[in-house]
Amino acid sequence: MKLLKYTIVLALTFILLPLTGFAQTPEEKGLAIAKEIDKRDEGFGDSTAKLTMTLRNKAGRESFRYIRFKTLEVKGDGDKSLSIFDKPRDIKGTAMLTFSHSIKPDDQWMFLPALKRVKRISSRNKSGPFMGSEFAFEDLGSQEVAKYTYKWVLDEKYNNLDCFVLERRPAYEHSGYTRQIVWVDQVEYRIQKVEYYDRKNSLLKTQTFGGYTKYLDKYWRPGNMEMVNHQTSKSTKLEWKDYKFRVGLKESNFNRNSLKRAR
């Protein structure tokens, strides 16, 4: 009798197991999608890229920022990155070293070339504008899974792509947002669009992604992004160029010494 009971329980378990999969809550499904996005980016090692930012004000006047990025993947923690500013010319040689973490605040140092000074800076300012643009520091930081809580909302077509639509809420303190709505295509798990809602929960910005290219036969990177601020009518366009992967960057390329001679 006992044996039969166990057999039934075991059988039921096997029958019901896949069902629990189907009975995923929207939160579980959202998290699973976020993990899949993260998983698909695992193992890139290190990369370098060049960025041109075009800032456009309400009157349509444009100004430009040229920045180079070096990134090192860190297993089990946020990435290490070095950003080097080439333009505008008055800040040429200014560089920023970031050790990002998922929940605890990032470690950040800035090199000011005129004074030859390295300053450890507070990374509290996540919501502040990056270089006067419509991108906040948090929009450009390393997007670790643990930085948000997730909820799947619906599936819909965006730009002729079947997309998952997720809502994510920042889990870290001092974010400028209550929530973000994210469109991710279902085949390659590339982020296509993000809507940002401010602290009062009204729509603040929309970011769109385009020109995705596949590198090393696996890693997708956008060629351009645009952030439109609906409250100020200002916008910022990012164009990424010269993506290179596994160029041989090491831990020793991400310290105060390398920050001082980054250029």
Contacts of 59 (CB under 8 A, 6+ apart): none
Verify binding: residue 176, other proteins, rule CB under 8 A: yes
The helix/strand count (H/E) of the chain reads as 4, 15
Judged by beta carbon, residue 138 or residue 195, the one nearer other proteins is: 138
Stretch that binds other proteins, among 3-11, 35-43, 128-136, 142-150 (CB under 8 A): 128-136
Verify binding: residue 121, other proteins, rule CB under 8 A: yes
> At its nearest, how many Å lie between other proteins and the CB of residue 154?
32
Judged by beta carbon, residue 130 or residue 209, the one nearer other proteins is: 130
Tokens describing residue 17: 């197991």
Q: Is 7 left (phi over 0), alpha (psi -120 to 50) or beta?
A: alpha
Identified binder of other proteins from the candidate list 58, 120, 241, 244, rule CB under 8 A: 120
Residue whose C-alpha is closest to residue 260's, from 142, 114, 99, 66: 114
Query: For 58, phi and psi rounded to 5 degrees?
Result: -55, -40
Judged by beta carbon, residue 35 or residue 92, the one nearer other proteins is: 92
> At its nearest, how many Å lie between other proteins and the CB of residue 16?
47
Give bridge partners of residue 108 from the DSSP assignment: 98, 121
Identified binder of other proteins from the candidate list 17, 19, 59, 115, rule CB under 8 A: 115
Give bridge partners of residue 110 from the DSSP assignment: 96, 119
Verify binding: residue 129, other proteins, rule CB under 8 A: yes
Interface size with other proteins, residues (CB under 8 A)? 35
Stretch that binds other proteins, among 12-20, 67-75, 140-148, 251-259 (CB under 8 A): 251-259
Stretch that binds other proteins, among 71-79, 123-131, 157-165, 206-214 (CB under 8 A): 123-131
Judged by beta carbon, residue 53 or residue 184, the one nearer other proteins is: 53
Verify binding: residue 127, other proteins, rule CB under 8 A: yes
Element (H, E) at 51: strand 46-56
Please give the single-letter amino acid code of residue 93: G
Scan for tokens 């400028």, then name that residue.
Answer: 176
Cα–Cα distance for residue pair 28/23, rounded to 1 Å: 10
Verify binding: residue 218, other proteins, rule CB under 8 A: no
**94 and 263 Cβ atoms separated by less than 8 Å:** no
Tokens describing residue 163: 């997309």
**192 and 209 Cβ atoms separated by less than 8 Å:** yes
Tokens describing residue 211: 């020109």
Binding mask 69-108 for other proteins (x = CB under 8 A): ------------------xxxxxx------------x-x-
Verify binding: residue 124, other proteins, rule CB under 8 A: yes
Binding interface with other proteins (CB under 8 A): 55, 57, 63-64, 87-92, 105, 107, 115-122, 124-125, 127-129, 131-132, 174, 176, 252, 255-257, 261, 263
